[in-house]
Amino acid sequence: MATSEAAYAVEQAIGHDDNSIIQQDVSNFSQKGTGDPNETMKALVWQTKQKVEVVDVPKPKIIEPRDVILKVTGTTVCGSDLHLLHGAVLQMHKGDILGHEFCGVVDEVGPAIRDKIKVGKRYVASFQIACGECFFCKQKLSSQCEMTNSNTTTKAMYGGRTAGIFGYSHLTGGFAGGQAEYARVPLADVNLLEIPDDVPDEKALWLSDVLPTSYNAVKDTAVYPNDVVAIFGAGPVGQMAGVFAVGEGASKVIFVDTEPRLSIIQSRWPKEHQDKLEVLDYKKLSFGVTNKETVVSKLKELTGGRGPDVAIECAAGEYAKGWMHWLEMSLGAETDTSEILNEMIEGVRNYGRAGVTGVYVGYTNHFNIGSLMQRGIRLIGNGQAPVHKYWVELLNKIKTGELDPTQMISHRVRLEDLDKVYYKFDNKEDGMQKVFVETKFSHPRAAGTPELTKY
């Protein structure tokens, strides 16, 4: 049994707390009463470490009075999904339906919310499941809802819990995700946002996660006019964090990553802000054979010796660069590397700010707390982004044309090919940045977005 599955077995033995107001561990619809055994759908499921597969599973049913069943018309693969593929996130179980970003058309509505949600209307789901009433939800900090995740291990590890999250392990409640033809949305009157007729799925889908996450990274870390911002990780979240940083008045954005991601950023960066873009290939720096420059020294050089005002981590803690962290992670001596965190802390100016948005699971070694303390660096955990705090504002930016999220989209693919897409995305093949995944219910492709690629 893989470590991730073993951790789930331990949680089952210990038992959950009693704080959740919705049913936990509905991670697929084969459990009695949760799905229709006579009607199936296609879904992407986790099988074991390094293996996902598109299979036929029962279609979900309404099981609680505030549920909605969506016909999924758009979903995607997130870099966070790769952590599940790699087994880096604990408490996965064979058959779990993945996917935390999705939108669709309402197919069925639970009896308690039929006056609020209408069959046939289009909605996008937030990746977190919030109650709307607790201490955090009343402040729109929906990712920290106290009433939708009762996992005991999570509370013991972190001293508290996040909200339930779609398709993202039993650490976050064990809810089936949206990489499927149908999705069940609990507390749907809180966790669905209606999509206007003039906004296509190819723009609305990203309100589910990537846009609020990148926006929160910039807002929560605090980017001010004329700041220089270093962004570690040039995936879709990093890309849009850079766009939002410029929107806040940043004078320069420095992306730290390697190929092919840096070339993707350069080709897709807004033309009117080309003068504000710099890129650093870390593989040509700190681990070069003859080049003695490091990421930190290069950041100082690009900023007159002082360092950027802000650094934002949009990568993750599972990717070790040096042998020491690789070995310690392999032996279970740590769950996450501190290499990028140290580069941010050492790289920014004195009293600079460093925000962490990429996923970190547990504990790390060799963390430079001395630099943090001595130089007054603000290290900010941006948290799972509170989607409900931002999604109406971001939708308005899309409607007015101020924000065009289609700049992220590199591919359009079929749900039937999604298992193949996972491995291509993981290997950074075909220039894959952000994929729009269509299902049999999807609307015709929006103008200006990629044509369908079949695998």
pLDDT surpassing 90 at residue 309: yes
pLDDT surpassing 70 at residue 30: yes
CA atoms within 13 A on the CB side of 130: 29
Between CA 409 and CA 395 the distance in angstroms is 17
Of 325, 260, 250, 312, give the one whose Cα is nearest residue 286. 325
pLDDT in tens, 218-247: 999 999 999 999 999 999 999 999 999 999
Between CA 396 and CA 404 the distance in angstroms is 11
Residue partners of 277: CB distance under 8 A and separation at least 6: 242, 252, 253, 255, 265, 266, 269
Between CA 243 and CA 270 the distance in angstroms is 8
Amino acid 2: pLDDT = 67
Report residue 128 as tokens. 């977190």
Of 260, 357, 354, give the one whose Cα is nearest residue 317. 357
Amino acid 370: pLDDT = 98
Residue partners of 121: CB distance under 8 A and separation at least 6: 105, 106, 194
Of 397, 389, 341, give the one whose Cα is nearest residue 216. 389
pLDDT surpassing 80 at residue 286: no
Alpha helices, H only, 228-273: 236-247, 261-268
Between CA 108 and CA 112 the distance in angstroms is 12
Residue 52 near residue 82 (C-beta atoms within 8 A): no
Banded pLDDT at 198 (limits 50, 70, 90): very high
Residue 145 near residue 131 (C-beta atoms within 8 A): yes
Between CA 433 and CA 47 the distance in angstroms is 24
pLDDT surpassing 90 at residue 358: yes
Least confident of 39-43, 179-183, 292-296: 292-296
Percent of the chain with pLDDT over 70: 98
pLDDT surpassing 50 at residue 251: yes
The SS3 of residue 113 is: helix
Banded pLDDT at 291 (limits 50, 70, 90): low
Residue 436 near residue 449 (C-beta atoms within 8 A): yes
- The DSSP secondary-structure symbol of 35 reads E
Which residue is it, tokens 């930190």? Answer: 296
Amino acid 1: pLDDT = 57
Dihedral pair phi/psi, residue 78, rounded to 5°: -105, 155
pLDDT surpassing 80 at residue 78: yes
Residue 403 near residue 41 (C-beta atoms within 8 A): no
Strands (E), 76-227: 96-97, 102-109, 122-125, 128-129, 164-165, 182-185, 192-194
- The DSSP secondary-structure symbol of 93 reads -
